């Protein structure tokens, strides 16, 4: 069994880069969702399709850097669910945002579960995965909230999905910073006499 110190530096460096990239993309998406996308329905529609599509691509890239999809089944399932979600959102947009919010709710629950499993699996090798585990669990709660909002009569918009993405951005940033701090501490211990 690998320990944290046995993991090759490029693997940890990739994971940090991956988490920082996920943070940046999610933060930009959230900023656009709360500002210009609310007033530009075509932009909002494109963003609603792009968000799960980006999640599928990001999980695919990460799984490939971490041994491939067959070795990372939770990420493989996340890729499949995210692709299906992007297609479902694209085909459902003409039926209204309530229907899209339902799809996002189901996706948040499923992708959160897969993220939680990935975080637990990575803990043994990389450590500092508590934020990803917490994010996966909270994603399930966010999905349930979106489903209840979608079932209601109150108006909804892309701004109702943005907090979910904002929490995701926050957790990716915390994970990246946690790994960075862990690496700094390990290097400091290695230098000590």
Q: What percentage of residues in the chain have a pLDDT greater than 90?
A: 64
Burial of 192 (0-12, 13-18, 19+ CB in 10 A): exposed
Q: Tell me the pTM.
A: 0.87
Give Cβ neighbours of residue 59 (< 8 Å, ≥ 6 apart).
75, 78, 79, 82
**pLDDT at residue 38, rounded to an integer:** 86
The whole domain housing 173 covers: 8-187
Domain assignment present for 192? no
**pLDDT at residue 7, rounded to an integer:** 44
**pLDDT at residue 123, rounded to an integer:** 77
Q: 56: helix, coil or strand? A: helix
Domain assignment present for 18? yes
Domain assignment present for 193? no
The CA distance from 131 to 37, in Å, is: 29
Domain assignment present for 125? yes
Q: List the Cα angle 71/24/43 in 5-degree steps.
A: 105
**pLDDT at residue 35, rounded to an integer:** 95
The CA distance from 160 to 101, in Å, is: 8
* Owner of token pair 């792009």: 50
Domain assignment present for 1? no
Domain assignment present for 183? yes
What pLDDT digit, counting tens, does each position of 148-169 carry?
999 999 999 999 999 999 999 9
**Count: domains in the chain:** 1
**pLDDT at residue 118, rounded to an integer:** 86
**Which residue ranges of the chain lie beneath pLDDT 70?**
1-10, 126-128, 193
Q: Mean pLDDT for the chain?
A: 89
**pLDDT at residue 95, rounded to an integer:** 95
């Amino acid at each position: 069994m690998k320990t944290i110190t046995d993991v090759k530096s490029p693997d940890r460096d990739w994971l940090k880069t991956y988490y920082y990239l996920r943070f940046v993309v999610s933060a930009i998406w959230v900023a656009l969702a709360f500002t210009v996308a609310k007033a530009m329905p075509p932009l909002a529609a494109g963003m609603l399709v792009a968000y799960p599509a980006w999640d599928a691509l990001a999980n695919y890239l990460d799984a490939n850097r971490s041994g491939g999809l067959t070795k990372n089944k939770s990420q493989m399932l996340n890729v499949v669910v995210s692709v299906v979600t992007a297609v479902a959102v694209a085909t459902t947009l003409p039926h209204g945002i309530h229907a899209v919010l339902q799809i996002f709710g189901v996706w948040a629950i499923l992708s959160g579960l897969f993220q939680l499993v990935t975080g637990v699996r990575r803990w043994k090798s990389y450590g500092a995965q508590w934020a990803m585990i917490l994010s996966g669990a909270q994603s399930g709660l966010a999905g349930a909230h979106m489903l209840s909002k979608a079932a209601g009569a109150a108006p909804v918009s892309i701004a109702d999905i943005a907090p979910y993405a904002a929490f995701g951005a926050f957790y990716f940033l915390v994970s990246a910073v946690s790994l960075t701090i862990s690496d700094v501490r390990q290097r400091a211990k290695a230098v000590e006499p």
